[in-house]
Amino acid sequence: MNSNLSTALLALLFTGAQAQSAQEITDYPEYAAGFSNLGLTWETAKVNTLDGYTMTVFHVTGSTTTGPFEITKNALILQHGMGGSGEGWLY
């Protein structure tokens, strides 16, 4: 699967998304705390890779003060380096 198609599929997964659920907060407490400290709303999606892994991706949906973001550009996917954690970007 090429990267443009992968990006398009992720964008479709998140269409209509608003904010994190109570279950997501329970499942990912460290991320929930980090996003909360930054004043961001978010949600997760499970993505299966071609080599058999399941990734949890985090979609930042808006601000707790100004509401949902207005989508005006294509999606951007960021990934931490090998051995790293996305949590490090929140603190």
Radius of gyration of the chain (CA): 13
According to the model, what pLDDT value does residue 9 have?
Answer: 54
According to the model, what pLDDT value does residue 52 have?
Answer: 92
The encoded tokens of residue 59 equal 């979609």
Blockwise average pLDDT, block size 10, the chain, 91 residues: 51 61 93 94 92 91 93 84 80 70
Where do we find the tokens 């904010």?
Answer: 19
**Total number of domains in the chain:** 1
What is this structure's pTM?
A: 0.70
The parent domain of residue 46 ranges over: 3-89
The answer to whether the CB of 41 falls within 8 A of the CB of 68 is yes
| Helix (H), strand (E) at residue 5 | helix 3-13
According to the model, what pLDDT value does residue 1 have?
Answer: 47
CA 68 to chain centre: 14
